[in-house]
Amino acid sequence: MNVLTINNYLFCINSGYIVANKKINTMKRYIILALSLVCLFSLEVSAQKERKFIREGNDLFKGNKYENSEVEYRKALNKKNNSYEAAFNLGDALYKQKKYKEAYEQFENLAKVEQDPNKLSQLLYNMGNTMLEQKKFDESIQLYKQSLRFNPKSAAAKYNLEYARRQKKQQQKQNKNQKNKDKNKKDDKKNKDQKNKDKQDKQNKDKQDKKKQDKQNKDKQNQQKKEKDKQQQNGDKDKQKQQPQKNKISKQDAQRLLKALQNDEKKVQQKVQKAKAKALKAKRRRINKDW
């Protein structure tokens, strides 16, 4: 029943009271009664349409056509906006479509005004299920506890409460393992980076040492070459100095050489004198012979 229909109904009733208080005539009373019956009939037709949409929605829901069932439940709410059944079933249809946020809001709006403990317990239970599906275990645990306060005998709420608790512990364990895994991964990456850095530093040091050694070897080669060139230059100078000295003799050697030459010359003169004397003697012998 929508607001307009209720207002029309109330208007019809109030009109009947007003007319009665004014002692209207019988004809008018019949007219008012007829109008009241029309109003009641209109309300009944609206209620029937609401029930029709709910039934169609339920049939579609059973056939797993949740999106189509949602449409029918909304049609039922358009006919009667305070229909608990249509609103509750709409929440279920949203839940089945995994529209958990919308389903939670639907059940929450009903829970705010609901006074019946059993219905309130069921609403809180469904709200807990929407949180459980979103892995919000703390929220779902609190909602299941509230559901059990209104209906302590609810086996479904008890089971889901324990399930949510186990899932929370498992999540905490997984988070801890993941945290340790991330830490180990971070440490491994840090160690790997350090090894790579050490390796790179060693390679850079080796390059620098090689470069330094090459420079030292090159400097040594250049120095050796310079020394060799210098020695060669000095050797050439020594040669140039030694060559004229070959013709130079000491004073003592010169005197010995001169004396030797004089002795040789003297010997030669002696030989010559002897030869001359011999020749002269031979000549005299020939002359004497001739005589």
CATH code assigned at 20: 1.25.40
4 shares its domain with 89: yes
The CB density around residue 160, as the number of other CB atoms within 10 Å, is: 21
Question: Of 43, 39, 95, 38, nearest to 69 (Cα)?
Answer: 95
Please, are residues 45 and 11 in contact by the beta-carbon 8 Å criterion? no
Query: What is the reported pLDDT for 26?
Result: 61
pTM of the model: 0.53
Give the total number of structural domains in the chain.
Answer: 2
CA-based nearest residue to 6, from 72, 90, 75, 82: 82
Shared-domain flag, residues 27 and 76 = yes
- CA-nearest of 133, 81, 129 to 109 is 81
Residue 199 included in any domain? no
Q: Is residue 277 a part of any domain in this protein?
A: no
The pLDDT of residue 234: 75
Query: What is d(CA 291, CA 286) in angstroms, rounded to the nearest whole number?
Result: 9
Question: Do residues 49 and 80 share a domain?
Answer: yes
Residues 70 and 19 occupy one common structural domain: yes
Identify the pLDDT of residue 266: 80
| Residues 48 and 19 placed together within one structural domain of the fold | yes
Last residue in a domain, options 93, 109, 126 = 93
CA 258 – CA 206 distance, rounded (Å): 75
Residue 127 has a pLDDT of: 98
Among residues 186, 203, 221, which one ends one of the domains?
186
Q: Computed from CA positions of residues 128, 131, 137, 142, in that sequence, does the dihedral angle turn out positive or negative?
A: negative
Burial of 163 (0-12, 13-18, 19+ CB in 10 A): middle
pLDDT confidence of residue 4: 40
Segment holding 291, helix H or strand E: none
pLDDT of residue 184: 87
What is the model's pLDDT at position 207? 87
pLDDT in tens, the chain (291 residues): 443 444 444 444 444 444 445 555 565 555 545 454 434 434 444 457 899 999 999 999 999 999 999 999 999 999 999 999 999 999 999 999 999 999 999 999 999 999 999 999 999 999 999 999 999 999 999 999 999 999 999 999 999 999 999 999 999 999 999 989 888 888 888 888 898 888 888 888 888 888 888 888 888 888 888 888 888 777 766 666 555 545 556 777 777 878 888 888 888 888 888 888 888 887 777 666 655
Per-residue confidence (pLDDT) for residue 1, from 0 to 100: 42
